[in-house]
Structure 1
Amino acid sequence: MATQPAGADSVRERCGECGHTTSHRVRVEIRTESQTAENAQFSREPYRVSTCSECGTESVTRMNNA
């Protein structure tokens, strides 16, 4: 019998902070990179945000490195 995943937003991966392979909560966020208001609408990029369920460390990776 197959086991059910912990959740749709849960992934097992290695945590660089605590050094273990643990469950991580993963989400995609659209973040604004521009500091000025006039260019903010053109500077939104997707980021992968992963949070370790053991130590709470959050890692952020820009997904569109064009």
Structure 2
Amino acid sequence: MSKSQSTLTELTEHCEGCGSRTPHEVSIELKTESKKRTNREFSREPYRVTQCRVCGDKRSQRMNDA
């Protein structure tokens, strides 16, 4: 899967791993979802990626599914 990072910031959010509100690094990544070589450039989707700065728990959510 190809990905490129476009923005990065820090927000305080609820962390499933810690069970409380902690600082998280938040970024938007474009991920290629197609496994096929043909037309891969048309299968890129934006994902919101968060990583807890305390426990390191990392989660991603497809933006079109939000």
The interval holding the TM-score normalised by the smaller chain is 0.7 to 0.9
Q: Which residue of the partner structure matches residue 50 of structure 1?
A: 50
Q: Structure 1: where are the runs of 5+ without partners?
A: 1-7
Greater per-residue strand proportion = 2
Task: Give the secondary structure class of the aligned counterpart of 1:55.
Answer: coil
* 1:12-33 deviation per Cα after TM superposition (whole angstroms, max 9, x unaligned): 0000111120000000000000
Note the 1:6-25 alignment, pairs <5 A: 9-25=9-25
Aligned length: 58
Runs of 4+ in 1 over 6 A off after TM superposition: none
Q: Of the two, which has the highest radius of gyration? A: 1
Aligned-partner residue type, residue 10 of structure 1:
E
TM-score by length of 1: 0.82
Task: State how far apart, in whole Å, the 2-side matches of 1:25 and 1:54 are.
Answer: 10
Cα RMSD (Å): 1.2
Task: State how far apart, in whole Å, the 2-side matches of 1:20 and 1:39 are.
Answer: 42
